[in-house]
């Protein structure tokens, strides 16, 4: 048994985005994290996902766009709310925007491709932690907003799978309760005789 891998799988915890600080991954480490992200089941090798990397000034630029969209949607939005949107992507030094981009293929249903994009997000989290960083996978309101999708250049068939915030953890998150396996795992009763 590979003890370090099992230990990471059994102890992984998300670090809240606003508890992530500089430094973020350097270019070499980021490349490894992205490569690990892509090592997921991918029926028919379609690569039905892609990445947009928010670093440096791009975080503020897209945050300004979020605030603009929020103000247009919510005329009652307070200055505090709009400032939170403006600074949303600056909570961590790196945000990997993971896009689910399914491809029409007769032998690979869209659902499988969407699941593959979710697996990418999980691999990104594990790779970030293995590289010594904290990370959090978020899908806040902006993940479901069509104007935000347009701002990021998503095609009509694409959706945000997740915004993966990565940086140096400023806190160690406490563990939380986990599902009781007796409540979620079962063995079927065979409905016929052999």
Whole-angstrom distance, CA of residue 29 vs CA of residue 32: 5
Q: 97 or 177: which carries more pLDDT confidence?
A: 97
User: pLDDT-derived band of residue 194, with 50, 70 and 90 as boundaries?
Assistant: low
| Mean pLDDT over the full length of the chain | 95
**What does the pLDDT read at residue 4?**
87
Orientation of helix 27-37 relative to helix 110-130, angle to 10° = 140
Whole-angstrom distance, CA of residue 180 vs CA of residue 184: 7
Q: HSE, CB side, 13 Å, CA atoms: give it for residue 168.
A: 6
Q: Show the domain range for 104.
A: 15-55+91-170
**What does the pLDDT read at residue 190?**
82
SS3 content of the chain, % helix, strand, coil (to 5): 45, 15, 35
140 and 18 in contact (C-beta within 8 Å)? no
* DSSP labels, 164-192: EEEEEESS-PPP-----HHHH---PPPSS
CATH number at residue 132: 3.40.109.10
Residue range 22-57, pLDDT digits in tens: 999 999 999 999 999 999 999 999 999 999 999 999
Please indicate, yes or no, if residue 162 is contained in any of the structural domains.
Answer: yes
88 and 94 in contact (C-beta within 8 Å)? no
Please indicate, yes or no, if residue 24 is contained in any of the structural domains.
Answer: yes
DSSP conformational letter for 41:
-
Please indicate, yes or no, if residue 121 is contained in any of the structural domains.
Answer: yes
The total of structural domains in the chain comes to 1
Please indicate, yes or no, if residue 194 is contained in any of the structural domains.
Answer: no
Please indicate, yes or no, if residue 73 is contained in any of the structural domains.
Answer: no
Please indicate, yes or no, if residue 34 is contained in any of the structural domains.
Answer: yes
Please indicate, yes or no, if residue 71 is contained in any of the structural domains.
Answer: no
pTM of the model: 0.94
Please indicate, yes or no, if residue 76 is contained in any of the structural domains.
Answer: no
């Amino acid at each position: 048994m590979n003890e370090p891998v099992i230990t990471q799988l059994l102890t992984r915890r998300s670090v809240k985005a606003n508890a992530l600080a500089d430094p973020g991954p350097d270019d070499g480490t980021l490349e490894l994290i992205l490569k690990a992200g892509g090592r997921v089941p991918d029926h028919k090798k379609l690569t039905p996902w892609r990445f947009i990397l928010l670093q440096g000034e791009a975080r503020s630029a897209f945050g300004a766009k979020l605030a603009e969209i929020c103000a247009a949607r919510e005329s009652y939005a307070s200055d505090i709310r709009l400032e939170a949107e403006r600074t949303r992507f600056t909570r961590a030094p790196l945000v990997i925007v993971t896009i689910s981009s399914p491809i029409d293929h007769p032998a690979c249903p869209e659902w499988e491709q969407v699941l593959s994009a979710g697996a990418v997000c999980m691999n990104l989290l594990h790779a970030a932690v293995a590289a010594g960083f904290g990370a959090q996978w978020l899908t806040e309101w902006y993940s479901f907003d069509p104007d935000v999708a347009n701002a990021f250049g998503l095609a009509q068939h694409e959706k945000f799978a997740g915004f993966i915030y990565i940086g140096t953890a400023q806190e160690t998150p406490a563990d939380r309760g986990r599902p009781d396996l007796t409540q979620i795992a079962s063995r079927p009763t065979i409905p016929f005789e052999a």
